Amino acid sequence: MSQNTSLLTDHYELTMVSAALRQPIAHRPCVFEVFARRLPDGRRYGVVAGTGRVLDALADFRFGPEEIAVVERFLDADTVNWLRDYRFSGDIDGYREGELYFPGSPILTVRGSFVDGVVLETVILSIMNHDSAIASAAARMVSAASSRPIIEMGSRRTHERAAVASSRAAYIAGLAATSNLEAARSYGVPSAGTAAHAFTLAFTGPDGPDEKAAFAAQVEALGVSTTLLVDTYDITQGVYNAIDVAGTELGAVRIDSGDLGVLARKVREQLDGLGATKTKIVVSGDLDEYAIASLRAEPVDTYGVGTSLVTGSGAPTAGMVYKLVEVNGRPVAKRASHKESRGGAKQAVRVSRASGTITEEVIFAASDTPPVFDKTQGERVRPLQIPLVRGGEVVDDLPGLTDARDHLAAALVSLPWEGLGLSHGDPAVSTRYAL
């Protein structure tokens, strides 16, 4: 999706530019970093998502006539002219999408002049914080579901554009499909869906509801591999009607309400008794990772998630910040209580045992060589940042969405076993500063 992104920012970003352009600092080389001081309460890891959307937003960060008409209301002529010609010309390095992050991880490093970098703060943070929050929540759901697929269906519970971004981030985290067709078009995320209760309710005539007629119409249009929603009226009768209409080769039935564990057991027994042993059971209805985990022992084949994934209750903010850490090659740092930052541009490596299990993340000065590690026991060291932008141009052949999905799946396996727990606890991997 391409749209001008220059006004997806805060007023003060541009007033800072206006003030800076009158001073020598405007064009001094600077380094900005994106990092999270801490993980959301109870979380053991975070998932990087949104990097690809940041790069798309950077390409569309332009001040055309419509954008200039807005900013010239409060900016001086020199600043307006500078914005009219604005093109980011610096470099960006960062963690690839699908990478895990922990407190202090230098997730994104932006190098350029002060005015080049400061104007990008809000658009970068708004994308990275949203998408990483969704991906982190979705990854927990995927872990809780084990090998059972999850369909994302949260479009009606969030902003229309946030819904598309949420589908993309959830796919990186391992969800199987989305209900959102714009995500399918824009990002190639597989789409899925059949019918809602409204379809069944519509088949009501003079003699009352006709659930069989609704099921027959759906099967006629979509085939017996479809999923029939059986809880509009009475679930037990709904299952009988579904198999009577579609036969024992029906693809699946869906339950969207009630005590899902109890109902799934009863429906499985009923389906098997009717000979529909291959008909799967899909459950949905405000599921989060805890509800999914509680259903692990039940005969559930697929989960549908929405509200708890795309809203703040289920996906708390990633808490990422964008801070100036270096000016003219000299470290600078914020000292305010509880909002401290560490000065200087940084790199990071992740250390793991020979088995592949991560033991720590080590952060060191970008100007230094990586710390020396003892590899006699098979210890492995992997750099975390990759080049993303050089001279204002996005680097060729960056990992795509499927690559990010595969990378995260492997990364989750590399966590210490307690790192996948849903209970409150410390970050799964400790961060060590070698500065």
pLDDT of 113-142, one tens digit each? 999 999 999 999 999 999 999 999 999 999
Evaluate the CA torsion angle 116, 119, 121, 123 in order and state its sign. Answer: negative
Residue 148 CA: distances (Å) to CA of 45, 115, 200, 287: 22, 48, 27, 14
Report which listed range, 6-20, 303-317, 374-388, 421-435, is most confident. 6-20
Domain boundaries, the chain: 11-135+315-344+384-422, 145-311
81: exposed, middle or buried (C-beta count within 10 Å: 0-12, 13-18, 19+)? middle
pLDDT confidence bin for 102, thresholds 50/70/90: very high
DSSP lists the bridge partners of residue 326 as 31, 331
**Residue 216 neighbours by CB distance under 10 Å:** 16
**pLDDT per residue over 235-258, tens digit each?**
999 999 999 999 999 999 999 999
Architecture field, domain 11-135+315-344+384-422: Alpha-Beta Barrel (3.20)
- pLDDT given at position 335: 79
pLDDT greater than 70 at residue 376:
no
Share of the chain above pLDDT 70, in %: 98
Name the pairing type of β-strands 91-95 and 385-390. Answer: antiparallel
| Residue that has been written with the tokens 């003030």 in this structure | 19
**pLDDT per residue over 302-361, tens digit each?**
999 999 999 877 788 899 999 999 999 999 987 776 667 789 999 999 999 989 999 999
Amino acid sitting at position 435: L
Name the pairing type of β-strands 252-255 and 385-390. Answer: unpaired
* 32/45 Cα distance (integer angstroms): 23
Per-residue tokens: 244 = 């009577």
C-beta separation of 379 from 353 below 8 A: yes
CATH superfamily of 145-311: Aldolase class I (3.20.20.70)
384 Cβ contact partners less than 8 Å away, ≥ 6 residues apart: 95, 99, 105, 347, 348, 349, 350, 361
**DSSP assignment of 117-151:** HHTTHHHHHHHHHHHHHHHHHHHHHHHHHTTS-EE
User: Around 122, how many Cα atoms within 13 Å sit in the side-chain half-sphere?
Assistant: 13
Per-residue tokens: 401 = 């969405």
254 Cβ contact partners less than 8 Å away, ≥ 6 residues apart: 194, 227, 228, 229, 230, 231, 281, 282, 283, 284, 304
pLDDT confidence bin for 387, thresholds 50/70/90: very high
The DSSP 8-state label assigned to residue 422 in this structure reads S
- pLDDT given at position 306: 93
Per DSSP (E only), the strands in 285-331 are 302-305, 320-327, 330-331
Report if pTM > 0.85: yes
| Residue that has been written with the tokens 């932006």 in this structure | 110
Per-residue tokens: 281 = 């059971």
C-beta separation of 36 from 105 below 8 A: yes
- pLDDT given at position 2: 55
